[in-house]
Structure 1
């Protein structure tokens, strides 16, 4: 018997409208649809880009009435300057999005998806 080994993680992000979330990730961030539980009105779907997969799960709009923290994903990248330039043309950044070097030895930028799930892209310096 061998030791357990973790090799991937597929975070699940809450969304109000899975179709709109799919449009955002596919059209703005260049993800591809990996699967959906229904082709017309999905409640759960997965998207992929390169070696990562993110799942999108429908949550009723009433759940957004309570102010709660949304997930923040930290995505390890390569060629971060090129990725920043690419996403900068997609109208996804907020006023404070910038490519910056951190005190903890990374270069990174961050923004939110349609439903305030945080996306941070970074690489080690």
Structure 2
């Protein structure tokens, strides 16, 4: 029997888990799957459709924006409609547009509250 990989749950560092939860649930439409503490969480899982992301608190003393920040590429359908949803909620700067890439995708990208990059795309 060969092992099969089924999912990946990226862990994004955040400085304030409650603020990040608000952004991801209220702005991006994710639901909370679990939290290590209901009042002062340090590690949580959030999910929208088939995508699960974990958010982990990092002390400000450990924070360094000069290092490489995570960038997630999330496959979706109807990228234009998702862009409209997030635009309506003022999730990203107004100049954020859906683009067609040279490698055959339609996509848009922005950063969350803690400079973790999010790209939503579909094959065109």
> TM-score scaled to structure 1, two decimals?
0.95
- CA–CA distance in structure 2, aligned partners of residues 15 and 94 of structure 1: 20
Aligned match of 2:91: 92
Aligned match of 2:76: 77
- CA–CA distance in structure 2, aligned partners of residues 54 and 26 of structure 1: 12
Q: How many Å apart are 1:95 and its aligned residue? A: 5.3
When the two chains are superposed, the root-mean-square deviation of aligned CA atoms in Å is 1.1
SS in 2 for 1:86: helix
Aligned match of 2:39: 40
Q: How many Å apart are 1:52 and its aligned residue? A: 0.6
Stretches of 4+ aligned residues off by more than 4 angstroms? none
- CA–CA distance in structure 1, aligned partners of residues 29 and 93 of structure 2: 18
- CA–CA distance in structure 2, aligned partners of residues 45 and 11 of structure 1: 12
SS in 2 for 1:39: coil
Consecutive unaligned residues of structure 1, counting only runs of 5 or more, are: none
Q: What do the CA deviations read for 1:22-62 (whole angstroms, capped 9, x no partner)? A: 00000100100000000000000000000010000000011
Aligned residues between the structures: 124
Matched, 1:113 2:112: yes
Q: Would the aligned equivalents of 2:87 and 2:94 in 1 still touch at CA under 8 Å? A: no
Q: How many Å apart are 1:94 and its aligned residue? A: 2.7
Consecutive unaligned residues of structure 2, counting only runs of 5 or more, are: none
Q: How many Å apart are 1:66 and its aligned residue? A: 5.4
